[in-house]
Amino acid sequence: MRIPFRAGLLGLSLAVLSLPAGAAEKLQVVASITVLADIAKQVGGDNVEVRSLVGPNGDAHVYEPTPQDAQAVTKAGLVVVNGLELEGWMDRLVAASGSKATIVVATQGVPTRKMDEDGQEITDPHAWNSAANGAIYAANIAKALAAADPAHAAAYQANGAKYEAELKALDAWARSEVATIPQAKRKVITSHDAFGYLGAAYDIEFHAPVGFSTESEASAGDIAKLIDQIKQEHIKAVFIENATDPRLVQQVAKASGAEMGGELYAEALSTADGPASTYAKMFQYNISSLVAGMKQN
């Protein structure tokens, strides 16, 4: 009698203990962009529900929040932002929504690089395009998830460590892939200047017809210089970024005899059926496309 009773009691107390956790809603996480949302999903697993404010193939530079977005931020237990002034609208959105959520800046501890934009030195926000930085993002997000939802802290830490290792492996893979291309041939043209970190990490030179932001309009002089440059340096790898006007790049490629290398995913993941539905897939896809393109140079 005693043993079953105790077992029953234990079972009951376990059930009571697990009740609040089971009944409580999953931790609501709001991320500014799809890349961050995916990292949060990978680390959080089934314990979190993640929403990205800027959707797949969207452009974070020109995003406008909707009331649903503000509502999601209000309900969120954790808000994930990239920082480095990528999402200028985020601070205002969080303040306006009256949210009490913790805000985690995913780029904390990332070695940043400066870039020249119209003569001004600004910090390049597109740090996730290096997988080594992605691993730092994952560690930051795992730590923040554990703090926001201590009941599942162990799971977050374990998932985080696993995912971090996966990203570091991707980083090593990318290095070995790029190493197959001779140094002199590692040159690429894209329509968006968001690959500064990728270029620095894996030793690839990127040239762009339009400036750093998707907002600036191209000038005839710049385009002419770019066409000359492609011709002189024999760059055949030309890529279109998925959130800007591809027509300009097509014209440049046509005028200079370069070949179109397809689409790269610089700032946003693709939709679920696309080739870059997760951050890891996006990185892999970008590296494979770049390497295939540079082989033509």
Partner 1 sequence: MTAVWDFLVTPFLDYAFMQRALVACLALSLGCGPVGVLLVLRRMSLVGDAMSHAVLPGAAVGFLVSGLSLWSMGLGGLIAGLAVALLAGAVTRVTALREDASFAAFYLIALAAGVLIVSTRGSNVDLMHVLFGTILAVDDAALLLMAGIATVTLIALALLYRPLVVECFDPGYLRMVGGVGAMVHFAFLMLVVLNLVGGFQALGTLMVVGLMMLPAAAAKFWSRSLWSLFAWAAGLALLSGYSGLLVSYHGSLPSGPSIVLTAGGFYLLSLIFGTHDSLRARYLPTAHFAH
Binding residues for partner 1 (CB under 8 A): 54-55, 57-64, 66, 214-225, 227, 243-248, 250-252, 254-255
- Closer to partner 1 at the Cβ: 105 or 248? 248
Q: Please measure the distance between the N-terminal and C-terminal CA atoms of the chain and give it in whole angstroms.
A: 81
- Cβ–Cβ < 8 Å for 189, 210: no
Q: Report the nearest approach of partner 1 to the CB of residue 223 (Å).
A: 6
Tallying the residues shown for the chain, one arrives at 297
- Closer to partner 1 at the Cβ: 122 or 218? 218
- Closer to partner 1 at the Cβ: 162 or 225? 225
DSSP letters of 27-91?
EEEEESSHHHHHHHHHHHGGGEEEEESS-TT--GGG----HHHHHHHHH-SEEEE--TTS-TTHH
Among residues 290, 268, 193, 244, the alpha carbon closest in space to that of 38 is found at 268
- Closer to partner 1 at the Cβ: 62 or 95? 62
240-267: burial string, b at 16+ Cβ within 10 Å, e else: bbbbbeeebbeebbeebebebbebbbbb
Burial bucket for residue 120 (CB in 10 Å: 0-12, 13-18, 19+):
exposed
- Closer to partner 1 at the Cβ: 52 or 133? 52
Q: Report the nearest approach of partner 1 to the CB of residue 108 (Å).
A: 26
Backbone angles phi, psi at 12, to 5 degrees: -60, -50
- Closer to partner 1 at the Cβ: 157 or 213? 213
* Distance separating alpha carbons of residues 208 and 218, to the nearest angstrom: 10
Element (H, E) at 205: strand 205-207
- Closer to partner 1 at the Cβ: 85 or 215? 215
Q: Report the nearest approach of partner 1 to the CB of residue 67 (Å).
A: 11
Q: Report the nearest approach of partner 1 to the CB of residue 189 (Å).
A: 14
- Closer to partner 1 at the Cβ: 129 or 214? 214
Determine the residue type at 169.
A
Q: Report the nearest approach of partner 1 to the CB of residue 203 (Å).
A: 29
Q: Report the nearest approach of partner 1 to the CB of residue 230 (Å).
A: 12
**Which two structure tokens, joined as six digits, stand for 87?**
């999402």
**Which two structure tokens, joined as six digits, stand for 297?**
């140079």
Q: Report the nearest approach of partner 1 to the CB of residue 296 (Å).
A: 21
Q: Report the nearest approach of partner 1 to the CB of residue 210 (Å).
A: 10
